[in-house]
Amino acid sequence: MLGMNNEPIALERALASFDAVWSPRVVTRVNDYDVRVAKVEGEHVWHIHEHTDEFFLVLDGELRIALREPAGVRTVTLAKGDVFTVQRGVEHKPYAPVRAAILLLEPSGTLSVGDRHDEIPDTVDVTTGHPLDLPARDAP
């Protein structure tokens, strides 16, 4: 699957292998879930995943997620090491004030912009996650 050869993957190396923001890479799979990493900066787009929760872990920097809730818009701020789950059906818009790195856990095939979304800016990739393209590890 995706050329993964069941070897350990250093997240630092995974993150160093690409530059694009809001363009997740699939690091590995757990049952039918992807573990994805992404670099993020600036605004993502308001969107909804109607049928799945979405798990976030901040690996570096800070991530804010605006949530459109019945009582109004609420923004959660995640620092490095924080985790947060956006519940299915909750419209949300991630935002990173400066370059940050995150890890996502969601079912394989989940589109980065959800099932419904606002107009997508050029800076946001519409993807179900790209395969990781890691250079070979140096020989021991």
Q: List interacting residues with Ni ion (CB under 5 A).
A: 54
Tokens representing residue 19 in the block:
């530059």
- For the beta carbon of residue 3, count every other beta carbon within 10 angstroms: 8
What's the CA gap between 4 and 7, in Å, rounded?
A: 8
- Beta carbon nearer to Ni ion, 27 or 112: 112
- Beta carbon nearer to Ni ion, 34 or 54: 54
Nearest distance in Å: CB 92, Ni ion: 6
Nearest distance in Å: CB 123, Ni ion: 15
What's the CA gap between 10 and 69, in Å, rounded?
A: 36
Nearest distance in Å: CB 10, Ni ion: 26
CB-based closest residue to Ni ion: 54
**Residue 139 DSSP code:** P
- Beta carbon nearer to Ni ion, 78 or 134: 78
What's the CA gap between 115 and 5, in Å, rounded?
A: 31
